[in-house]
A = this chain, B = another copy of it.
């Protein structure tokens, strides 16, 4: 009870194993490590695959992720889960960071609902919620990295997910929660507006014995405070696209929109070699950020606000070859941060449309070798393309391709 008290040591050797059982049966320790070597097609490459390269570097060793995770599950007298706690820490050469620190309470009367509170992944989209040790490509797409960096946020969530094996809705899951908004991209809540995030999903459903499908629809309805009265939106002025300011006094302290929509679907076909998978996910909505960036702000801004309509998508094609140990993958994603402007309209004289409005398309080609359950080798090559614009720095494709050789150790 007191900070410097001694832990209870009345356990004698005879009761030892039982005590061990009680102490540790409910605790699970797991983790994974992702050391990798990367080569970029030029020095100082901007990259969403492990972050930008240093100005004088085109190759690097890094520890992309180093995770240590503690799970605790308490079962009730009927061996039903009652409380689940998770502590996950990320440690790399860049420092130690909190990832998942959350608790969940299960109601066991209907075995339908659970309630989660703390720091956990936003229930939006498919790829965002697929854990990094299981994802077949090295990184999540550019769009989700900008809109929801590090995926997690602080909040509470109610979940509907039948736990009885024969429940008629057992293939469905509904999550709905309220969150601060800025997640881990800032040190804490900076306004009073909250984000409502929800996802309704169909869990893998066996269409035939070999073919299964899953799907989901997601919604984020939120926003954050406008700390200046200057709010820009894209306007079409007799065919000339430009950002136009609204500087009404009412803008100050009102809510800037952050509204995302998403649909996703996953097909999986099992066969002699293993499986073939096809996944698609499409997001669209409205994002508020700044003139030069479309990343969700982590801090209260002191510069004018820019509201843009965006869309983007992620697609995966995965194919085992020979057996389940070998897998080829193709991933395609795009992110168009401003769907109202394109190509040469960006950077045209005096229209205030910066490089933040450029659409990027990324093709990734990879091979994964599952050496054993604890070790995986990933070889992936990313080809990134930006739109050709009127901006001097982006008259043509200036993007950098990156090759990644990653080992993943896991336990």
Contact = CB atoms under 8 A, between A and B. Distances in A.
A248 interface: no
A62 B182 CA distance: 12
B102 A189 contact: no
Given A66-B98, A189-B54, A16 B21 contact: yes
Interface string A12-25: 11001101110111
Interface string A141-161: 000000000010011100000
Interface string A103-118: 1110000000000111
A97 interface: yes
A72 B411 contact: yes
Given A54-B189, A191-B57, A93 B409 contact: no
Nearest to A29: B27
A148 B83 CA distance: 34
A72 B130 CA distance: 24
A253 interface: yes
Contacts of A189: 54, 57, 59-62
A94 interface: yes
Interface in A165-220: 178-180, 184, 187-192, 194
Contacts of A249: none
Interface stretch (A84-92, A260-268, A314-322, A353-361): A84-92
A87 B66 contact: yes
Interface string A270-303: 0000000000000000000000000000001000
Contact of A300 (B2, B26, B54): B54
A70 B72 contact: no
Given A1-B130, A84-B6, A103 B409 contact: yes
Nearest to A8: B28
Contacts of A105: 371, 375
Interface stretch (A31-39, A231-239, A324-332, A341-349): A31-39
Grouping DSSP codes into helix (H, G, I), strand (E, B) and loop, the A interface class, with mixed when no group exceeds half, is strand
A191 B56 contact: yes
A55 interface: yes
Contact of A120 (B3, B13, B25, B68): B3
A343 to B, nearest CB: 34
A70 to B, nearest CB: 6
A411 B26 contact: yes
B72 A31 contact: yes
Contacts of A103: 33, 35, 375, 407, 409
B131 A3 contact: yes
A84 B7 contact: yes
A121 interface: yes
Contact of A9 (B16, B73, B91): B73
B54 A93 contact: no
A93 B119 contact: yes
A179 to B, nearest CB: 7
A35 B253 CA distance: 27
Contact of A74 (B27, B71, B374): B374
Given A4-B129, A93-B188, 9 more contacts: A3-B130, A12-B79, A17-B17, A43-B192, A56-B227, A61-B194, A66-B87, A82-B374, A105-B375
Interface of A: 1-4, 6-7, 9, 11-13, 16-17, 19-21, 23-29, 31, 33, 35, 37, 43, 54-63, 66, 68, 70-75, 79, 81-85, 87, 89, 91-98, 100-105, 116-121, 123, 129-131, 134, 151, 154-156, 178-180, 184, 187-192, 194, 225, 227, 253, 300, 371-372, 374-375, 407, 409, 411
17 contacts: A2-B121, A2-B130, A2-B131, A3-B100, A3-B130, A4-B123, A7-B73, A9-B73, A20-B20, A35-B102, A60-B188, A61-B155, A62-B154, A63-B101, A85-B411, A89-B91, A95-B97
